[in-house]
Amino acid sequence: MKTFSLTIAALLATNTYAADLLPSWNDTAPRKAIIAFVERVTKAGAPGFVPVAERIATFDNDGTLWAEQPIYVQFHFALDRVKALALQHPEWQKKEPFRKLLTTPKEQNVAVSEHELMEIIMATHAGLTTAEFEQIVTDWISTAKHPKTGRLYTEMVYQPMLELLAYLRANGFKTFIVSGGGIEFMRPWTEKVYGIPPEQVIGSSGKTKFEMRAGQPVLVKLPEIDFIDDKEGKPVGIQQHIGRRPIAAFGNSDGDLQMLQWTAAGRGPRFCLYVHHNDAAREWAYDRKSHIGTLDKAWDEAIAKGWTVVSMKDDWKTIFPK
């Protein structure tokens, strides 16, 4: 994965930091639109200028920053947790949805409902302290591999999006993740992989409880949902965590629509972008009828409103880091 280092001198020398930071983008409409937007909001004294403090950009994670096919990464994680904990839970051999997870061959997809997924996550996460959970995620993410490519999941991130994150930050933006995924599943690795610190990660969460264990304070994960950061939940999560409206938002599915609507409805320059997965050769091709990352209503709205739609096939030179 490429890294970008910026010197203070370089930042001071120019208003807009070089768009050379987008080398994996073809010079098609999306790249031009991104650069035009950034130049507009960073030009001091011009009508579209936005102060640094208000340069908030929010990114969905699954399907926007990293691959979500053939299954959500967190689902793979939860599946591995079920297997790791199966000996302690003999009742799972007979109890759905655990039974089917434990008996289906690894290469085969297991259909689980959203409700079942929650049940799995709760059963495998609850009771752990936040510190224990962080360690489990850290260990897992450093070794778990994508079922198709065999690469680490942290290498299944989109190189053009990494460049976009860096380009925005170089121009004074604060970049946030706003994902339906678990907030504590993402935080252990987002700083290293995306340059996004834990305090700029918003996601779904379970409730936790403060308690003393052997004289030491801990936060224990409870088997109770606190917040679902998806669809209508995304603007709610943004308001709760950031307290101001983004000026730029990036997504890939109908689950991101409300975040983009919320972003677009603010005053002044706004930038909304959808990633369209249409590259079956280099990644996956799916949209209106997909169960994962459905892009249907949001696609229509993006077109109607003139939002930027990235064709992965045509607009990106590279998909994954070399």
Where along the sequence are the contacts to its own copies (CB under 8 A)? Answer: 8, 53, 56, 130, 174, 183-184, 187, 191, 197-201, 205, 208-211, 216-217, 219, 226, 232-233, 235-236, 239-244, 258, 261-262, 265
Q: 125 or 146, CB closer to its own copies?
A: 125
> Which residues, listed in sequence order, are joined to residue 129 by a DSSP beta bridge?
220
Q: 287 or 301, CB closer to its own copies?
A: 301
Q: 8 or 87, CB closer to its own copies?
A: 8
Q: 54 or 296, CB closer to its own copies?
A: 54
- Distance between CA atoms of 157 and 73, rounded to whole angstroms? 12
Tell me the closest approach of the beta carbon of residue 216 to its own copies, in angstroms.
Answer: 6
Q: 254 or 283, CB closer to its own copies?
A: 254
Tell me the closest approach of the beta carbon of residue 120 to its own copies, in angstroms.
Answer: 22
Tell me the closest approach of the beta carbon of residue 125 to its own copies, in angstroms.
Answer: 14
- Give the Cβ contact number of residue 289 at 10 Å: 8
- Residue from 111, 182, 101 nearest 140 by CA: 182
Tell me the closest approach of the beta carbon of residue 264 to its own copies, in angstroms.
Answer: 9
- Distance between CA atoms of 237 and 268, rounded to whole angstroms? 22
Which burial class, exposed, middle or buried, applies to 39 when counting CB atoms under 10 A from its CB (0-12, 13-18, 19+)?
middle
Q: Show contacts of 213-220: CB within 8 Å, 24+ apart.
A: 213/129, 218/129, 218/130, 218/131, 219/129, 219/130, 219/131, 220/127, 220/128, 220/129, 220/130
Tell me the closest approach of the beta carbon of residue 81 to its own copies, in angstroms.
Answer: 20
